[in-house]
Amino acid sequence: MTTLVAEANRVEDWGGGMIVVLDTTGDTKHIWSRDNADEVAEARSLFDRMVKKGFQAWSVTRKGDKDARITEFDPQAEKIIFAPALQGG
Amino acid sequence: MPQNWPQYYTSTATTTNQYIPVNQQWYNTSGNSTQTIWQNWNTTTTSTYVTQNTYADQVWIQWNQMPVYQPPVYTPEQLREMEAQQARQRAIYEERNRRRSAARAKARTLLEQFLDDEQKLELERHGRFYVIGSRGRRYCIRAEGQSGNVDLLKPDGSVQARLCCHPRQVPGESYELLPEGDAWLMQMITLRTDEDHFLRTANVHRGSLPAFA
């Protein structure tokens, strides 16, 4: 898993996507391959669970040119970041 | 330290010579020079003595009714148990600090994956980095905690407004905020994708916001 995550971080388009859940440990990563239906389904399930928990999802790229807030799982996404909603402090 | 304070009572509101101060000596009002302090204290503009009424005595009465403090005496077993409890507590704190330190490092690594070379250099050298918002305004995210650490900049680079906007506590966890690197990442992503949402959510600590389009 560590090797796969490292590969997913290093290679711009490795044929899959990554969900990054920001939490108190820093983050927790989950990856899926676009060709693997089971992995896509698992990622979709995780996406729905996180939305139910109150997290907000952002589809992001390393360059930042296609970043967008999303509410539905996109299997083509490069990276999806889950974070708690923003608040004024 | 005395365990009891000397008590004094006045029987009526007109009594003028029944004070018993802390040195336990009696004084009266018949010209004794040793009572000058009390006379000055109690004298009114009409040169009559103002006396304490009985309500003021209640403080002293209650003070003297308080039980005398007795320090607890612990057995050697109790002392050992207390020391063990302190050691357990210390271990919990150390573990929590170690976990937070690891989380901060991990969050910083993730953040740097989304920064370009210039931003990384700025962060490393000056503890801040600049972001262009979705509406083209320029922001400075300062690496100083996650509250009030975002500056909206004017075209000349000076600060137009100091803003506070950061992720809430993590749902379902221990009411802890995200590590700072994660918070800075989300501040950057939100500014890049929906600057107006960021400005609407933020509290302004200094300066003022531009008018929304």
pLDDT bucket at B206, cuts 50 / 70 / 90? confident
Separation between Cα atoms, residue A85 and residue B1, nearest integer Å: 57
Q: Is B117 on the interface with A (CB under 8 A)?
A: no
Mutate to test the interface with B, among A2, A9, A18, A86 (most CBs of B within 10 A): A86
pLDDT tens track for B63-92: 888 888 888 899 999 999 999 999 999 999
A58 φ, ψ to 5°? Answer: -130, 125
Q: Number of C-alpha atoms within 13 angstroms, CB side, residue B45? A: 0
Separation between Cα atoms, residue A66 and residue B183, nearest integer Å: 20
Q: What's residue B26's pLDDT? A: 47
The mean pLDDT value of chain B amounts to: 80
Per-residue pLDDT of chain A (89 residues; tens, 9 = 90+): 444 555 556 555 677 899 999 998 999 999 999 999 999 999 999 999 999 988 999 999 877 677 889 999 999 998 999 999 999 97
ipTM of the complex: 0.85
Say if residue B181 is exposed, middle or buried (CB neighbours under 10 Å; 0-12, 13-18, 19+): buried
**Taking CB atoms and an 8 Å limit, are B147 and A89 in contact across chains?**
yes
CB-nearest partner of A88 from B109, B165, B174: B165
pLDDT bucket at B24, cuts 50 / 70 / 90? very low
CB-nearest partner of A64 from B147, B165, B192: B192
- What residues of B are in contact with residue A24 (Cβ under 8 Å)? 103, 170, 173-174, 176, 178-179
Q: What's residue A71's pLDDT? A: 92
**Taking CB atoms and an 8 Å limit, are A26 and B173 in contact across chains?**
no
Separation between Cα atoms, residue B109 and residue A1, nearest integer Å: 18
- What residues of B are in contact with residue A67 (Cβ under 8 Å)? 189, 192-193
Separation between Cα atoms, residue A81 and residue A20, nearest integer Å: 5
Residue A10 token pair: 């290093």
pLDDT higher than 90, residue B36: no
First-to-last alpha carbon distance for chain A, in angstroms, is 37
CB-nearest partner of B203 from A22, A25, A88: A88
pLDDT bucket at B15, cuts 50 / 70 / 90? very low
